[in-house]
Structure 1
Amino acid sequence: MGRKKKAFAALIPALTLVATAGQGTLGANASETLRTANAAAYPAWSADGGTGTQRLQGAGRTNPPTAAPTDPQGGQMGDGGPMGDGGQMGDGGQMGDGGPIGDGGQTTPPADPQGGQTSPPTDPQGGQQNGGQQNGGGQNGGQGNGQGNGQGNGQGNQPPANPTLRADQFVDIRKAPRVQQPRRGRQASTGVFASSCGVNKGQAHSNPDNVLAAPGVVNGAHHIHDYVGNLDTNAFSTDETFAAAGTTCTNGDKSAYFWPVIRLRNGQDNSDRAQQSQADGNVGSIVTPSSVKIQYLGNPRAKVTALPRFIRVATGDAKAVTNGLKNAHASWTCSGFENRAFTDKYPLCPRGSKVERVLNFPSCWDGQNTDSANHRDHIQFADPRTGQCPQGTKAVPQLRMTLAYNLPAKPLAFALDSFPESGHDPVTDHGDLINVMDEQLMAKAVKAINGAKAGTRIKRRR
């Protein structure tokens, strides 16, 4: 293998393959499972939505001596396996919670926009990326330990196909669980501080990197991120380059805000990243949000203290399909229906209503660290029932990003960019913050949140 080919292989690590396309579906305890995750997602707006029991393992770590980059959302990456959407688009059977709006019967989803089965993409440096079996055990009788070398030398049976998008993942918003929130105490901080940072129109700032979870790794996310705020954000950004960069925010907020894009599946990707996106299983035209609302909220039980500059904060889990739902904190709803939300379904919105992604971030800081090995331990969510921060942590401003989109109310018409093995499952939605506000702006935010006057408070959701 030549030097160029080795470099390419290092940039596209093997995928953790999922045995069945239905793994993202919740079982008999769905009601209780959903209740906990949406509750954790909303310290200020908790829902009777869903969570799982498995912990995120190995986030931000790599397994020497492999050259594969760190899995940005947890676990170790292998070194082989085919890419793509994983075979034919199934017909989805009946719509899980009643089918599309106004129907309720069986549906026949549209054809796979890529035209039936997808074969592993050709390695631009020559040969197919058929890879070996997974690192850590060799599924289906093959020889594991990441021995695939990019030339199809894996032995044994073919690994299972990656999961595909399913029609039953699209459900009428009127069938979503109702959302709730903790009661406010006397010491509640009820104000709001907002940054207006634009919508990343025309993909002015986007890339498949994740500087928070995979610094220094090109295509570390394996999906495209939209960015607003700091103009420098990429795999090689540092605190120094963040501080020196400009921003799209009108108030001078230099923080980096980013999230995976949404695509129309039958659209055309004409960008210079189209080939890599298709190799990662993300196809179609990228949709620009119609609005991006960035707000910092208070705590229902306490006043907030300042977020430290350059703290890294993540919400959601891009690997929730394989890691379990413990950290699946993003919610999906529709404008005008914000009293209901899904964690594991895409909403089908009535005419005139927009799809909304609500990304609430953890807001109970340990008071010392600006990051941690799994990017979670240094800042946690408040108790979803009481809104109280865990012992040993202090309440800080809670970021909420609300992203609105004009999307068709049709199953399989749109999907989130995701890791190839995650099958565009809505439960994998996530977002990231690197706080680069200077001390003066952060002090202004804290004052606004703690000293809210009448008319500046967020309305309680009923």
Structure 2
Amino acid sequence: MGRNTRKRRTPLAAKVVAGAAALAVGGGGLVWANFHASAHEEGPAHHRTRSAAAQVATIDCPDVGQQLSGVPDRARGEVDGELATMDSQITEAYQRLATTRRAQAGDPQFVQNTILGPLKDRRKAIIDRIQLEIDRAGGRADDNLDQLAGCQGRPAEQPQNGDGQNGDGQNGDGQDGGGQDGGQNQDDNGNGAAGPVADDFIDINDVEPNSRDSENGLAANGDGGSTGTFTTDCGVNENNLFNSDNLIAAPGVDNGAHHVHDYVGNQDNDAFSSDEDLANADTSCRNQGDRSTYYWPVLRLQDGTEEFDANELGGGAEGNVGRILKPAQAELKFVGNQQGDVVAMPKFLRIITGDAKSFTNGDANANSSWSCTGFEDRQVTDKYPLCPEGSQVVRTSNFQSCWDGQNIDSANHRDHMAFVQEDGGCPNGFQAIPQLQVRLVYDIPTPTVENGQVRNPYAVDSFPEQLHKPITDHNDFINVMDEDLMNEVVDCINSGEDCQ
């Protein structure tokens, strides 16, 4: 497999992470291993004396980007770059956390004094620059952003409520927080990565039918509104288009995602692609009028395979290891609205659904849905499903389908879009647009879970500190349909036809 080979500059954010990555790669192999192991490394893993319960598992930082609104257009590029640098700082701090377990075992204040304290200072400097850039561009920066500088160390099993993220200390009583019992006390499943663990998986038979609170994931169309559909066939990434950029959230920043994406549709997708580049690019879609960008984090089978990116940032150097699994099917469908007609999407509209940082941010923006073929009335957000023989893993993302009528993006990449309300209509001031539904189906050998240990797990690529949790799954879209095709999509949906 390959990846985008377009020549790029190396921004400051990438250089920061490159220095940190040196901590994680040694002798051609990953020393991410034994993330949950104790300071006593000698002997077989199952005989080691573990002190993991006395250690924090990950870095939990308030998401500054989610708190930004009203950023002037001419400041957004600089602000996005600063936020990407902040993500790199978290990655560097997490890598230091993962490679200093011996020191942590000997000094209960090590994490605070050498990792979290300096991280807070560096984040404060970036927040100050963000405020200055907003003010210089004629905006009004929030004076309270400084409160978001401090991060916490937390056990992996801390409840995901998103509360209490503004502190600068560690969780509970220093490093003595609990919550790493069960699967988290196991080493690393032998795969050299921090997760997933046994508790991240559930037998699909143990999921109650129709039990998921799927307000954000409900299909938008219904009997009383625009009932048609439009399906676009863009393949399953047969062209091996992979990179760890994020054109929406971190434009102009190499490795802005810190994890690898699959791309279908537009074939000029990297951090440096302009709208003009997208409009002139080739497309993998059967309908050549659809040059839209559809992308999502890859799934990997952690079976020891060394992929093309085994030693690269975004890949193995940041804990995303194992064999990349392409979908067996990638179904891209646009549907209507329960209350009435839909209007055309503007060209270059950007939508992110789900939250790549849901494990530390909390689940307010989580919109992942995992299931198995033959069991799709059973959906789960925060677990990977264990499917029975003959059944395939299914990932579903139903996007926001209400648009503010003005903006193709917003400072936090969310405010210009909304989900439908309980009655199926859009909030005041928003217009219904075709709702994108992405359904990905995978042939994955079912992992074995025994005695609190999972063998050969599969997992979504993630920011390193998110520990490959299933709740961090997300999906991204940039509309680059030509005007004629978008009008056809709208006409099909509003007239109740099923088109492709």
With normalisation by structure 2, the TM-score equals: 0.65
| Structure 1 match to 2:480 | 436
| Structure 1 match to 2:327 | 289
| 1:206 and 2:212 aligned | no
2:234 to 197, 221, 233: 197
Give 1:219-368 correspondences, 5 Å limit. Answer: 219-252=255-288, 253-272=290-309, 274-276=311-313, 277-368=315-406
- Report if aligned partners of 2:59, 2:153 keep a CA contact under 8 Å in 1: no
Mapped to 2, the partners of 1:382 and 1:259 lie a distance apart of: 22
SS state at 1:359 partner: strand
Per-residue CA shift, 1:55-89, capped at 9, x if unaligned?
933499999999975249x979558425299479x
Gap change, CA 1:259 and 1:305, over 3 Å in 2 = same
Structure 1: stretches of 5+ with no match in the other structure: 25-53, 89-116, 120-131, 148-157, 458-462
Mapped to 1, the partners of 2:265 and 2:234 lie a distance apart of: 6
| Structure 2 match to 1:151 | none
Gap change, CA 1:340 and 1:208, over 3 Å in 2 = same
Gap change, CA 1:142 and 1:403, over 3 Å in 2 = same
Gap change, CA 1:8 and 1:231, over 3 Å in 2 = closer
Deviation at 1:275, TM superposition (A): 3.1
Deviation at 1:270, TM superposition (A): 3.1
1:178 to 199, 202, 209: 209
Deviation at 1:321, TM superposition (A): 1.1
1:167 to 180, 198, 202: 198
Give the structure with the larger helix fraction.
Answer: 2
| 1:427 and 2:437 aligned | no
1:9 to 15, 18, 30: 15
Mapped to 2, the partners of 1:5 and 1:388 lie a distance apart of: 43
SS state at 1:70 partner: helix
With normalisation by structure 1, the TM-score equals: 0.70
Mapped to 1, the partners of 2:268 and 2:426 lie a distance apart of: 33
Mapped to 1, the partners of 2:461 and 2:102 lie a distance apart of: 17
Deviates more, 1:407-416 or 1:241-250: 407-416
Deviates more, 1:313-322 or 1:266-275: 266-275
Structure 2: stretches of 5+ with no match in the other structure: 1-9, 22-34, 36-54, 104-109, 124-151, 157-193
Q: One-letter code of the match for 1:199?
A: V
Mapped to 2, the partners of 1:358 and 1:274 lie a distance apart of: 30
Gap change, CA 1:65 and 1:256, over 3 Å in 2 = closer
Gap change, CA 1:306 and 1:139, over 3 Å in 2 = same
Deviation at 1:182, TM superposition (A): 7.9
Q: One-letter code of the match for 1:314?
A: I
| 1:408 and 2:445 aligned | yes
- Report if aligned partners of 1:55, 1:323 keep a CA contact under 8 Å in 2: no
| Percent of pairs with identical residues | 43
SS state at 2:300 partner: strand
| Structure 2 match to 1:371 | 409
- Report if aligned partners of 2:393, 2:443 keep a CA contact under 8 Å in 1: yes
- Report if aligned partners of 2:56, 2:154 keep a CA contact under 8 Å in 1: yes
| Structure 1 match to 2:121 | 145
Q: One-letter code of the match for 2:206?
A: K
Gap change, CA 1:387 and 1:267, over 3 Å in 2 = farther
| 1:449 and 2:461 aligned | no
Deviation at 1:220, TM superposition (A): 0.4
SS state at 1:174 partner: helix
SS state at 2:83 partner: coil
Gap change, CA 1:279 and 1:58, over 3 Å in 2 = farther
Gap change, CA 1:308 and 1:7, over 3 Å in 2 = closer
Gap change, CA 1:185 and 1:448, over 3 Å in 2 = closer
Q: One-letter code of the match for 1:363?
A: S
Mapped to 1, the partners of 2:344 and 2:77 lie a distance apart of: 38
1:217 to 233, 253, 275: 253
Gap change, CA 1:326 and 1:6, over 3 Å in 2 = closer
- Report if aligned partners of 2:245, 2:254 keep a CA contact under 8 Å in 1: yes
Mapped to 1, the partners of 2:242 and 2:153 lie a distance apart of: 32
Mapped to 2, the partners of 1:416 and 1:82 lie a distance apart of: 18
SS state at 2:324 partner: strand
| Structure 2 match to 1:152 | none
Deviation at 1:268, TM superposition (A): 1.1
Deviation at 1:133, TM superposition (A): 7.4
Gap change, CA 1:428 and 1:450, over 3 Å in 2 = same
- Report if aligned partners of 1:320, 1:427 keep a CA contact under 8 Å in 2: yes
Deviation at 1:14, TM superposition (A): 7.5
- Report if aligned partners of 1:13, 1:79 keep a CA contact under 8 Å in 2: no
Gap change, CA 1:145 and 1:294, over 3 Å in 2 = same
CA RMSD of aligned residues (A): 4.1
SS state at 2:67 partner: coil
